Amino acid sequence: MQKRSVSIAKHRTSVSLEEEFWDILDSISTENNTTIPKLLEIIEKKSDKQNLASAIRVFCLNHLSDLIKKR
């Protein structure tokens, strides 16, 4: 488990995720020419106020699922 402090929409927060999820977020942000904080801002806006770490995990799993379906 890795805890990181990030700025999302002008507020600081800490997020604890398994290293594998941070790696996935890094790959997604690189693919989309953006930063992890900007990606987390998008996830947070779409999360319906659920736990941010859970929303991030679901986002990453959905991304991987989409990649598998495209094969």
**Residues contacting residue 20 through CB under 8 Å, at least 6 positions apart:** none
7-37 confidence digits (pLDDT tens) = 988 889 999 999 999 999 999 999 999 999 9
31-67 confidence digits (pLDDT tens) = 999 999 999 999 999 887 778 999 999 999 999 999 9
Q: Is the pTM of this model over 0.85?
A: yes
- DSSP for 27-48? HHHHHTT--HHHHHHHHHHTST
Domains (ranges, CATH) in the chain?
2-69 (1.10.3990.20)
Handedness of CA 63, 30, 38, 17 (dihedral sign): positive
